[in-house]
Amino acid sequence: MYGETGARLVQHAKRMQNLSHLPPYLPEMVRDVTREVRGLEKDVEELLQPFHGSFDPAANQALACTLLVNHLSMRRNKRCLLAYHRTRTDKLEEIVWSGADVADLSSQQVRDRGGGGGGGGGGDSDDERLPVTVGEGRTSSLSPQEEDYVRQYSDLLAAYKGHWTDVDLTGSLEPPRELFIDVRVLKAAGEIQTEYGWVFVLCWLAQVQVEKRRSLINCDAVR
C-alpha cells in the first residue's frame, strides 16, 4: 500500500519525541520511501506521455483519479520524510544546546543497544535497532549528513556564545532553588578559576560550597 513505509517513519518520529536519546538513523526505510516516490513519479509520466500535454480530466475520469492518487501519495511520502528528518534535527539541536558531545553520545547509544539486546522488544522493528555503518567498521546513530550538520551547528553555537561570554546561554531556563551547592573533592587539582573569576583550591577530600557553575561542577575532580 502506498505510504505505508512513510507512515512507519512518522511513528518512529513520534516515539522519538518522548525519548531522552536519539535512536539510530533508518537509512533503509528512508531509501524505500524515496524509491516509492520516484516510482510513482515515473508512473505518472508514463500515464501522461500518450496525451502530449493535452490531457483532459473530464474526458478520462478514471485516469484522472489514478493520477490524483499517485500525486497525493507522493506528497504524503514527502511530508513523512520531512517530519522524520525535522524531528531528528530538533533532537540533535536539543542535545547540542544541553552541552553533550553528540559524537560520543551516539557511539554510547550504539554500544548500549548492542549490549542490551535482550528483554522485551517494545514493538520496535529490527531495522530500528541497526546503527548506520559509516566506514572502517565504525558505527553511529547518526547519518553522515547529520554528523556534518551537528559539527556546523556546534560551531555556530560556539560563535554565538562567544559574543556573550559572561552569560551561560546553554544553561537551564528554570531558576535554581539554591544558589550554592556543596561539593566534595575527589582528587587534588590545585587552584581552579571559574569563568566568573572565583578561585578555589581543591584539596583531596575537602568539602567546599560553591555557586552552581557548570565549569566547576562538571569538573571530574569534584562530586
Domains along the chain? 4-162 (1.20.58.1030), 180-217 (no CATH)
Which alpha helices (H) appear in the chain, and where do they start and end? 4-16, 27-48, 61-97, 102-115, 126-129, 144-162, 214-217
Q: What is the pLDDT of residues 93-130, one digit of tens each?
A: 988 888 777 666 555 555 555 544 444 444 444 444 44
pLDDT at residue 107 in the model? 57
pLDDT at residue 210 in the model? 67
User: Which residues in the chain show pLDDT less than 70?
Assistant: 102-139, 194-198, 210-223
pLDDT at residue 137 in the model? 47
Element (H, E) at 190: strand 190-193
Strand partners, 59: none
Supply the angle between the helices 61-97 and 102-115 in degrees, to the nearest 10. Answer: 110
pLDDT at residue 102 in the model? 66
Whether 77 and 3 have beta carbons less than 8 Å apart is answered as yes
